[in-house]
Amino acid sequence: MASSVRKTAYFSMKTLNRAGQGARLLNGLAAHGVNLLAFTGFPNAGRAQVDFIPYDVVKFTRAARKLGLKMSRKKTVFLAQGSDKAGAVAAICGRLAKAGINMVAMDAVAAGKGRFGAIFWVKPRDIAKATRVLNAR
C-alpha cells in the first residue's frame, strides 16, 4: 500500500491534568457511538490539551454538545497512512520542507502489520499549499 495523506477536521479542548480525565472524555464519546481517527493529549500550562480527530464530524459535535464539552472551533489536521518502511514519515517531512512549509507538530506510530499512521499540523496560512504539495484528499 502506498502512503496517502488526507486533510481532515479536528477539535481541541483544555481539561484538568488529572488521572482519568482522558478515560472520562473517551468513554463519554464512545457511549454516544463516536469513533475517532486519532486522539492525542499533552500537558499545557498546568492543564491538559486534548485533540480529537473524529471519523464523523457531525456525530462528534452532537455528542460533545450533549456531554457539555467546550470544544474549539473546527480546525484542520493532516492524517497520513500507509506502508511502514524506513523513511515513510521522512518523505512527508521532506516534501513540506522543500516547499518551505514548517510543520508545527507531528505524532506518528507503527500501526502493526507493516502499516504506519501519522497526524500532523501546519500553520493555517500553509494548509492550502500543504494540501497541494502532498496531494492530500
> Which H, E and C letters describe 51-104, residue by residue?
EEEECCHHHHHHHHHHCCCCCCCCEEEEEEEEECCCCHHHHHHHHHHHCCCCEE
The predicted pLDDT at position 1 comes to 46
Tell me the pTM. 0.92
Residue 127: pLDDT over 80:
yes
Confidence of residue 3 (pLDDT cuts 50, 70, 90): confident
Report pLDDT digits (tens) over 74-118: 999 999 999 999 998 999 999 999 999 999 999 999 999 999 999
All structural domains of the chain: 10-73 (3.30.70.260), 76-133 (3.30.70.260)
Percent of the chain scoring above 70 in pLDDT? 99
Please provide residue 9's backbone torsions phi and psi, each rounded to the nearest 5 degrees: -95, 150
